[in-house]
Chains A and B, each alone.
Chain A
Amino acid sequence: MKSNDLSAARSASVGSVRSRSNPFTIRVVQTSGLAPRISWPLRWTLMLFFWVTLTCAHAESSLEPFFGVYVGRAELFNPDGSLREVRDLDISISPEKMDGFNAAWISVRLVDGRRDVDGVKRWVQESHFERDQEGRLIESTRSSLFARKSKVDMLAGDTLRWARVDGDVLSVYSMAVLADGRYELQIYDRSLTDLGLDLSFQRLVDEALQIYAIGKTVRVGDAEPE
């Protein structure tokens, strides 16, 4: 399954809404007064336009809708599409200082759908993202609140992580330069749904897909305050 297939599947699930109104039929009525009077269809159209514009502008940059606690399950696949493993997920996304966020997640690898048998494995991960001077959401490199930030050097073995909010999708990208100079790129997409978050993950080495995952979660609570 290529990355393009993943994006196609993702966009197919989003769906689309099309307006049946014809904007060219709207009439503008002007009277002889000083201020032009606007016909009610145009007034409503303008109001709707400003509301949509403001909502979109807010949605494009806002992390707030993602804050919460989610539980769910993800399936990991090999590049040929064969199932590799199934994991239970426990995710928390909470606000951080400087308009940033904290993502913490626990994943448990199931054995034959069970988590009470030998072979089960558990991972705990956490990442803090904060905005830099220009407003980029980048992973904090500070070991503590008072420690100095260290510069990420991918050629020295550091991993560069940053985030992007695009409407209802929060993406985290992780980029590393391997010892031989090739790159490893990991892409985590978290898409807001009516229930919670849909997850998509892929790991590429020099564009070649190594592993991918698709998951669903349900929102079970609010995020802890900053």
Chain B
Amino acid sequence: MTVNRVMVWISSVAAAMLMLGVASAVAAELRDFHGSYEGIAIASVESPEGQDTELSIRNLDMAIGPAGRDGFWIDWQTLMRSEDASGMPRYRRKSSRLEFVQVRPGVYRGPSGQGDDDVEYTSWGNLSNDTLTVYELARQVNGSFSLSTYRRTLTEVGLALEFTYLRNGERIRRVEAEMRRVSGG
């Protein structure tokens, strides 16, 4: 009886250790994302019927680093290429930097407040398994809103980025990109 109890105890501890090992192998930590990345993204603008109506290509540069205690910052630049009426290529550059502080394990508070355009912004993030997600809610004065979601999942070469853009609850844009790590990690 005693031997059986010891065996049960040993096997329980072994199972727990195995589960912990598996968990630590799967769950990523913030520092696993630190580094700089580059990649090319294909954006699709969806029609109300859910069919892709427009595709465009964007160059992305991104960096992630530590901020404050248990937080992180994300810095990115997007170079968008489009064509004008005469077919000449035009380029537009957008850049942004956001900082997030941890409010509880795996959940982060980002910048919030009212922009110059009277738009009310709220942003936050979460880390789940090997995906770091950033959300940005933007509310107009008339109640119309957009919700941007950036999912960054660790891959062997860097990060897989998925960006979706909802307007008043309907998805109208999606961007996917494979980003190669160029430093850090």
Whether the Cβ atoms of A8 and B143 lie closer than 8 Å is no
Find chain B residues with CB under 8 A from A173 CB: 143, 145, 169
Residue in contact with B143 in the complex, picked from A11, A154, A163, A183, CB distance below 8 Å:
A163
* Complex alpha-carbon distance, A134 and B120, angstroms: 10
A137-B143, A207-B149, A207-B164 known; A183-B135 Cβ under 8 A: yes
Which residues of B in the span 120-165 have a Cβ within 8 Å of any Cβ on A? 120, 122, 124-128, 133, 135, 137, 139, 141-145, 147, 149, 164
The answer to the question of A104 belonging to the interface, with a C-beta cut-off of 8 Å to chain B, is no
A134-B118, A137-B143, A154-B122 known; A171-B128 Cβ under 8 A: no
Residue in contact with A4 in the complex, picked from B48, B126, B133, B137, CB distance below 8 Å:
B48
Find chain A residues with CB under 8 A from B50 CB: 2, 4-5
Residue in contact with A136 in the complex, picked from B120, B125, B133, CB distance below 8 Å:
B120
Whether the Cβ atoms of B120 and A4 lie closer than 8 Å is no
- Nearest residue, chain B, Cβ from A183: B135
The answer to the question of A106 belonging to the interface, with a C-beta cut-off of 8 Å to chain B, is no
Which residues of B in the span 78-117 have a Cβ within 8 Å of any Cβ on A? 103-104, 106-109
Find chain A residues with CB under 8 A from B52 CB: none
Count of chain A residues near B, Cβ 8 A: 34
Whether the Cβ atoms of B141 and A136 lie closer than 8 Å is yes
Taking the closest CB of chain B, its distance from the CB of A59, in whole angstroms, is: 13
Residue in contact with A171 in the complex, picked from B49, B122, B139, B168, CB distance below 8 Å:
B168
Which residues of A in the span 155-203 have a Cβ within 8 Å of any Cβ on B? 155, 160, 162-166, 171, 173, 175, 177, 179-183, 185, 187, 202
Find chain A residues with CB under 8 A from B145 CB: 162, 164, 173
A180-B126, A180-B128, A207-B166 known; A185-B109 Cβ under 8 A: no
A136-B139, A180-B106 known; A7-B128 Cβ under 8 A: no
Taking the closest CB of chain B, its distance from the CB of A1, in whole angstroms, is: 11
- Nearest residue, chain B, Cβ from A135: B141
A-B contact pairs, 18 of them (CB 8 A): A4-B49, A4-B50, A134-B118, A134-B141, A136-B139, A136-B141, A162-B143, A162-B145, A164-B145, A166-B143, A171-B143, A179-B104, A179-B107, A180-B107, A181-B126, A185-B147, A204-B169, A207-B149
| Chain A positions near chain B (C-beta within 8 angstroms) | 2-5, 7-8, 11, 134-137, 154-155, 160, 162-166, 171, 173, 175, 177, 179-183, 185, 187, 202, 204, 206-207
